[in-house]
Amino acid sequence: MLPRLCILAIMAAAVLGLVGCRRRPAPETAAHASEMQGHTKNAYSHTDSLIRTMTVEQRVGQLFMPAVYASDDRATLARITAYASKHFVGGIILLKGDTKGARAIADTLRRLSSDPGMWIAIDAETGLAMRLKDAPAVPSAATLGNSADEKTVYDHARSLADDCRSTGINMVLGPVLDVESDPKGFIGRRSFGADPETVSRLGIAYALGLEDGGIVSVAKHFPGHGSADEDSHKSLAVIAKPLSYLYEHALPPFRSYISAGLSAVMIGHLAVTSIDPEMRSAALSEAVITDLLRRDLGFSGLILTDALNMGGARKGYDGDIDPSVAAILAGADIILSPTDTRAGIEAVKRALADGTLPDSTLNDRLRRILTFKRRFLKNQRRDT
């Protein structure tokens, strides 16, 4: 699969003059990329020694981020206590709730988690108000795409980063880098628009605003959900476009994000027929994650699946091994919202024990996770 993808990518680049592929990065994005490389190089020297101190349960748990409602009720706090203390998960994703609940969860996890801390993530495409009912809102990506320049988008994201830090959140599942091809389609107003150049410029401004504010950005939904009508929460979205279309229209914003040295990419539940003819969800596809994103596009940051409890994940995989194991083998670092977190962790441990999942593969994923945690969480306040 890799040689075919690389050959077609070179042909597409030569013929189409791709948006953002060979363009020199703006000074601020080049500086960000250089800074990130420095952080990564320094952090790598610390991660291997930490890995050697971790049990199998601790190493496996780091790859999982279950979802919880942003509530401070007793049942929720007991649940996250179990996630941290018994299953050693690497983080959580906040669903609907309020800022009081989000802060209580963040404070509880800080007290419970050992070095290097835990990811606390949230969808915030319209600000924290998207999930937290009493939090500030920002305009939708479509509104910003129609009227805003890069500075305005950066300022919105920088303000969002401040809101996140004050609430205990350290990861935002955004920006949306999907290039919409139909304003009435599933992505719709979640996208910055139909022009790859505009989506690239504004998406990077959004991500830089978050990361300059100390919050991990997660670009989504690779390799691009904009031309699919299906809601991947319910079913597997199909992208039946030629590879040349993807390189010309869907991939340029992700290329620009990678060139800017930004941190993380989420893989969507998309069956992209020109990349993986077996019609697997991209989040479970080695052809998409390892061949295209890692090797062809050269991305070295964190790779997250979209939520594995979504309909698109269930309908986009019929393999014999657990979906969590399949995603890790395909190249993912972090499993978001599995249907059953405990079962997923146990499946990965079994795969390690029987050799389905090499120990070196687990450590590769873990090394990247710990490196980014060191960069973003090392200054995070801990309650004692």
- Which residues are part of the catalytic machinery? 233, 306
Alpha-carbon dihedral sign for residues 181, 186, 188, 191 = negative
Cβ atoms 99, 135 nearer than 8 A:
yes
Among 234, 306, 263, smallest CA distance to 36 is for 263
Query: Tokens for 35?
Result: 């800074």
> Could you give the CA distance from residue 368 to residue 104 in angstroms, rounded to a whole number?
28
> What single DSSP character describes residue 171?
E
DSSP 211-274: HHTT-EEEEEEET--TT--S-TTTS-EEE---HHHIIIIISHHHHHHHHTT--EEEEPSEEETT
Q: How far apart are CA 29 and CA 25, in angstroms?
A: 6
At CA 256, angle to CA 253 and CA 262, rounded to 5? 110
> What one-character DSSP code corresponds to residue 120?
E
Q: How far apart are CA 102 and CA 95, in angstroms?
A: 9
Q: Where are the alpha helices (DSSP H) in the chain?
A: 2-16, 27-52, 56-61, 74-85, 99-112, 141-147, 150-167, 196-212, 243-245, 252-259, 286, 311-315, 323-330, 341-354, 359-377
Write phi, then psi, for 8 (nearest 5 degrees). -65, -35
Helix (H), strand (E), coil (C) string for 25-45 = CCHHHHHHHHHHHHHHHHHHH
The residues that bridge with 91 in the sheet, in sequence order, are 119
Distance from the Cα of residue 90 to its chain's centroid: 14
